[in-house]
Structure 1
Amino acid sequence: MNILSSKVGALFIPVSNIESAREWYCSILNLEPTFEIIGGHLCCIPLDNNGLNLVLDSNIYHEDSTYKNPAFHFNTDDIHGAYQFLQERKVEFVTGIENGHWFNFKDPDGNILMVCYC
């Protein structure tokens, strides 16, 4: 019996405004922004059918709490299409497409996120 599971259940992102963060993340993930805001500061966005959630949390946000390096990456099977998709949504890029496999960009709060061709 394992006390701790090797399965990750959630990825937390500090955000300054829970409503606008929900809109923005749903926009880049092509999801309807209908996910409930819990307790006025949390929004859980399901990322897959295995229970992995992106948890936006405005209670953990402060100016120094944003990710300066990606803590995870979003998968894509079309790195150029993903770059163009985000470019159309006017995200701020930190890198171009590197080595044909990945790029970094910022969310509205300055968190560094990554997209990777896997």
Structure 2
Amino acid sequence: MNHPVLKQIGTVFIPVSNIEKARDWYCDLLGVKADGEIQFGHLYVIPMEGTGIVLDSKIYSEDKVFKTPAFHFNTRDIEEAFRFMKKKGANVITDIEHNHYFNFKDPDGNILMICAC
């Protein structure tokens, strides 16, 4: 019998205060063009491989930002990713932990993670 709930995550919604600025920041971070349509005035779907990310300015409030990472971005080289984020001027809030991951904040204060895969 097939189970009706799949063992997959479809999309993660990230609360952002300004959809245009968040779109530009995340697309720059991930090296993708910020040329997609902002939907319904408050949603932007980032083109991803695998699990999706949707930026949503309608759900934003300061008390709803991620206080701990809800997911992580993958990297093949944690040292290179760390240098890249520092060079971009990102708000990196930890050093590389256990030679495996580090945390940073987006412009709205959401805590995110990059992790070696």
List per-residue Cα deviations over 1:17-60 (Å, max 9, x = no partner). Answer: 00000000001101111121000000011221x4x210000000
Letter in 2 for 1:108: P
* Aligned-partner SS, 2:58: coil
Superposed, 1:73-112 pairs within 5 Å as: 73-112=72-111
* Aligned-partner SS, 1:19: helix
CA distance in 1 between partners of 2:104 and 2:78 (Å): 13
- In the other structure, the counterpart of 1:58 is 57
* Aligned-partner SS, 2:31: coil
Letter in 2 for 1:58: S
Q: Structure 2 unaligned segments of length 5 or more: list them.
A: none
Aligned residues with identical type, % of pairs: 52
Letter in 2 for 1:112: I
Letter in 2 for 1:101: H
- Higher mean alpha-carbon deviation, 26-35 vs 16-25, is at 26-35
Could you tell me how far 1:93 is from its partner in structure 2?
1.0
Q: Structure 1 unaligned segments of length 5 or more: list them.
A: none
Deviant stretches of 4+, over 4 Å = none
* Aligned-partner SS, 1:38: coil
